[in-house]
Amino acid sequence: MSADAPIGVFDSGIGGLTVVRAIHALLPGESTLYLGDTARVPYGSKSPETVRRYAREILAWLEGRAVKAIVVACNTATAHALEELSAAASVPVVGVIEPGARAAIAATRGGVIGVIGTAGTIRSGAYGRALRRLRPAVRVVEQPCPLFVPLVEEGWFDHPATRLVAEEYLAPLRAAGVDTIVLGCTHYPMLSTLIGDVLGPEVARIDSAQETARELAAVLAARHLEAPRGTVVHHRWAATDDVARFASVGERFVGEPLPAIELAVLGSEPFS
């Protein structure tokens, strides 16, 4: 595997672009290949078995393109499939849950941490386990927020409807006195300001995207996989459906136009 190869990043759709944006900001010398499974989004409401099958197909697709590391940008896919992907992959695999949990433990003052995510992520209990592994005495209050993803996809980052929904979802966390909240879904960093308004500035908001980029940097350094100086940086984009919508919504996530999006056909690679 070559150090000038791209880093493969995947998500159920467009939301994982928040993770790519963080990788580009922290590691400007690295190339990325992003795959959004827009044909099968959302993963958040699907069974763990189905998400694992999707993740295996994506692993085969990315390995077929000789990536040097894989970032599972999707919280739901990390919750259900990270272990299996790490065991099966020929390259290092980084998920978003462990880095987010570490940052939350570092940030909490009173040891009461809120976690918000898709129904699948919250049902898996993966964040709670990761947090308690790091600090057994921590109190974790978990809350699924399934309406946030469609609201973000609609571009309603600061819309009265989104604010109303956030008030409802976040009320139990406020009542529990959380001092830190993990934005445990790719889409939620886009609502960070609004969530801050609802919970108040004293509640620390943890964006797994930035923490994951840091974890990736550490993994690349430990394996001597950092792109050599002078490597030409090239970012590629792929989606499994509707590349035009991927381009228009994705632009808002990355903050720049996404050129030449490939239409990926999954399931055509042999599983390793």
User: Which residues does the annotation mark as catalytic?
Assistant: 74, 185
Q: In angstroms, what is the C-alpha Rg of the chain?
A: 18
The answer for residues whose C-beta is within 8 angstroms of residue 175's C-beta and 6 or more apart is none
Of residues 69, 84, 38, 39, the one with CA closest to residue 212: 69
Q: What are the DSSP E strand ranges found in 47-179? A: 69-72, 93-94, 112-117, 139-144
Instruction: Report in angstroms how near the CB of residue 246 gets to ligand DGL at its nearest.
Output: 14
Q: Applying CB under 6 A, does 208 fall inside the site for ligand DGL?
A: no
What residue type is 260 in one-letter code?
A: A
Bridge partners (DSSP) of residue 236 are 33
Residue in the structure block whose two tokens are 């090239």? 234
Number of residues counted as binding ligand DGL (CB under 6 A): 17
Q: Which residue is nearest to ligand DGL (CB)?
A: 44
User: 60: which residues sit within 8 A by CB, 6+ positions away?
Assistant: 266, 269, 270, 271, 272
Is 70 a residue that touches ligand DGL (CB under 6 A)? no
- Determine if 185 is a binding residue for ligand DGL (CB under 6 A): yes
User: Which of 32, 121, 143, 240 is the binder for ligand DGL (CB under 6 A)?
Assistant: 121
* Contacts with ligand DGL, 30-69, as mask; x by CB under 6 A: -----------xxxx-------------------------
Residue from 18, 32, 38, 75 in contact with ligand DGL (CB under 6 A): 75
For residues 126 to 155, the per-residue mask of contacts with ligand DGL, x marking binding by CB under 6 A and - elsewhere, is -----------------------x------
Q: How far is the CB of 46 from ligand DGL (least distance, A)?
A: 8
Between strands 7-11 and 32-36, the pairing is: parallel
